[in-house]
């Protein structure tokens, strides 16, 4: 699978959603100058009932998200006080009803109950718009209740193949899709929690030796995902059981061994690496002498794998991982990549 780079756009600076009227018949909560808790909760329920938000609000959320996210560093830091916690989730891949199950099990996002979602919000599952709009709306309502890092599927090339483009154009339009691409380019690449835990989507299979957290923070991320380099490795690399670096079966970046994990963490004063990017039957896997955890939060991936989903809660007092596993939730009868197959059938 190739990771193809692309050009960045600034459609958020050009689009004027204020000329769009919201019809009196629209039965959702109206969006004012700020995103209120009432708006977010109404949107969550609309999506649950297979309704959309108005296209004006879709554009407004994405423009607001672009303005917020582009001011974040490529690597940002979170401090969790001793009496607080944070929950880290892996890939959700458009499985909106499983996202709701996470919130049922762990509570809705709030300043007192913050979440970090570690990329791959979209593609494959046919409710990708619902997933990413929900996460962005929480982030805009309160930036301290929702943190987001980019995955390899927050990418124009993969979105064209695995369903998100077709879904977005069908549910909204091409301008909304272009706004999403800009938002994806602004998503940070990594997060450090309490100076101990590094969270990023893929891994640390860096070709260059001696990469530091400062190097990651300095990445010019505001573009589609390149074919090589630090940004590509962060989003595409995978761990392996053998020491050293090796070729990645994905055809992009590399695989890295337990020795690579240990050296990177020790050199950067860290204790643990959290990554996602790979389906795990238990929803998570601990390896590299307990220094690396893969977390995956899309149960019964693609309606066929039969895996559990999982998430991790860290208490600020000790920053030890506490796992919750869960099974998939029922969802409306739209299979994986439904909109791609629908488009294909229309063209045949």
Distance, CA of 179 to CA of 181 (rounded, Å): 5
Place of tokens 């830091």: 77
Distance, CA of 225 to CA of 5 (rounded, Å): 5
348: tokens are: 């045949």
Dihedral of the CA atoms 331, 333, 337, 342 (nearest 10)?
A: -150
What distances in angstroms separate CA 13 from CA 51, 72, 253, 294, 330, one per listed residue? 28, 18, 33, 37, 39
Among the listed residues 93, 153, 201, 328, the single catalytic one is 153
267: Cβ contacts below 8 Å, ≥ 6 apart? 210, 212
Distance, CA of 296 to CA of 278 (rounded, Å): 7
What distances in angstroms separate CA 51 from CA 9, 46, 146, one per listed residue? 29, 5, 23
Distance, CA of 112 to CA of 120 (rounded, Å): 25
Active site residue 54: no
∠ CA 119-1-66, nearest 5°, is 35
Instruction: Give the residues across from 85 on adjacent strands.
Output: 315
Distance, CA of 318 to CA of 320 (rounded, Å): 5
Helix (H) or strand (E) holding 275: strand 272-275
For residues 310 and 274, the answer to whether their CB atoms sit within 8 Å is no
What b/e readout covers 285-312, taking b as 16+ CB neighbours within 10 angstroms? eeebeebbbbbbbbbbbbeeeebbbbbb
206: tokens are: 């860096």
Mind telling me the catalytic residues?
Answer: 153
């Amino acid at each position: 699978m190739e990771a193809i780079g692309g050009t960045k756009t600034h459609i958020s600076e050009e689009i004027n959603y204020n000329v769009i009227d919201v019809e009196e018949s629209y039965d959702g909560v109206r969006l004012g100058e700020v995103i209120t808790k009432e708006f977010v909760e109404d949107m969550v329920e609309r999506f649950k009932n297979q309704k959309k938000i108005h296209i004006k609000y879709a554009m407004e959320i994405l423009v607001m998200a672009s303005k917020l996210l582009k001011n974040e560093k490529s690597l940002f830091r979170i401090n969790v006080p001793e009496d607080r916690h944070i929950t880290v989730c892996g890939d959700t891949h458009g499985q909106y009803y499983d996202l709701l199950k996470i919130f049922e099990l762990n509570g809705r996002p709030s300043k007192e109950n913050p979440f970090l979602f570690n990329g791959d919000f979209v593609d494959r599952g046919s409710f990708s718009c619902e997933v990413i709009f929900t996460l962005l709306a929480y982030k805009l309502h309160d930036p301290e209740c929702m943190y987001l890092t980019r995955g390899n599927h927050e990418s124009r090339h993969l979105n064209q193949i695995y369903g998100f483009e077709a879904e977005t154009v069908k549910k909204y339009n091409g301008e909304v899709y272009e706004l999403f691409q800009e938002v994806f380019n602004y998503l940070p690449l990594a997060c450090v929690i309490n100076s101990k835990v590094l969270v990023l989507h893929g891994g640390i299979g860096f070709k260059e030796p001696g990469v530091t957290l400062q190097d990651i923070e300095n990445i010019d991320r505001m573009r589609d995902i390149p074919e090589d380099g630090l940004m590509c490795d962060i989003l595409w690399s995978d761990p392996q059981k053998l020491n050293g670096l090796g070729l990645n079966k994905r055809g992009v970046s590399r695989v890295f061994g337990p020795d690579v994990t240990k050296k990177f963490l020790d050199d950067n004063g860290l204790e643990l690496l959290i990554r996602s990017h790979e389906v795990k039957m238990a929803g998570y896997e601990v390896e590299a002498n307990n220094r690396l955890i893969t977390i995956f939060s899309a149960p019964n991936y693609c309606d066929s794998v039969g895996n559990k989903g999982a998430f991790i809660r860290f208490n600020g007092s000790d920053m030890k991982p506490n796992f919750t596993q869960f099974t998939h939730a029922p969802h409306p009868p739209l299979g994986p990549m439904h909109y791609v197959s629908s488009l294909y059938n229309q063209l045949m």
